[in-house]
Amino acid sequence: MYYVKEDDLYLIPTAEVPITNMYRDVIVKPEDFPIKNVGYTPCFRREAGSYGKDVRGLNRLHQFDKVEIVQVVHPDQSYAVLDTMVDYVKHLLEKLELPFRVARLCGGDLGFTSALTYDMEVYSAAQKRWLEVSSISNFESYQANRLKLRFKQDKKTSLAHTLNGSALALPRIMAALLENNQTDQGVKVPKALQPYTGFEIID
């Protein structure tokens, strides 16, 4: 967490935290599943400013913008939903025409809150290495247990499952777009972005 002493406030590391907490002490109707949320927020990290080449530039920032997708689902569907969320982020990277790979984290690399996590990494042509731009996780009932987020079915109350993913962390995406689209004329803008930019080349 990023604590601001002067204001006695904590700045969020990701929109997952406030979005998930909207469902504190909630009993969901089974017919409302899946519950889908999206948040576009500034995010704050303490680790920026460390020494070394791996944290320079857009790699590590105190503040960056990120789109977060969060779902509350029935336990029987959480792993199918996880696959759907991974496919969604893959589709975004494909539309941006970026070289990427999907890494399924082993148990030793998982955070203690997650049951299964996939990292999406884009290739940095300038740094010649892969950079994480999204992390999609199934927390099963871990968060729901702390939130008392439940659903009632057949007169029985059970814990819901929660999932979240970043789609996408924008500074590294910007860096990857600039690094991987160099041409003799300038930086090529992916076709998916051209309706928004109004041009095809940054010269």
Range with the lowest mean pLDDT among 53-62, 64-73, 182-191? 53-62
Residues 77, 79, 85, 89, Cα dihedral to 10°: -170
User: Phi and psi (nearest 5°) for 192?
Assistant: -65, -25
Task: Choose, from 56, 132, 146, 200, the residue flagged as catalytic.
Answer: 132
> Residue 158 above 60 pLDDT?
yes
- Is there a contact between 173 and 133 (Cβ–Cβ < 8 Å)? yes
**Domain 7-48+57-202 - what CATH class?**
alpha beta
Residue 129 designated active-site: no
Please, which pLDDT band fits residue 60 given cuts at 50, 70 and 90?
Answer: low
What local confidence, expressed as pLDDT, does residue 14 receive? 85
Can 135 be counted among the known catalytic residues?
Answer: yes
The letter for the amino acid at 95 is: K
132 catalytic residue (yes or no): yes
Q: Is pLDDT above 90 for 154?
A: no
Per domain, the residue ranges of the chain are 7-48+57-202
Higher pLDDT, 52 or 27: 27
Decide if 46 is catalytic.
no
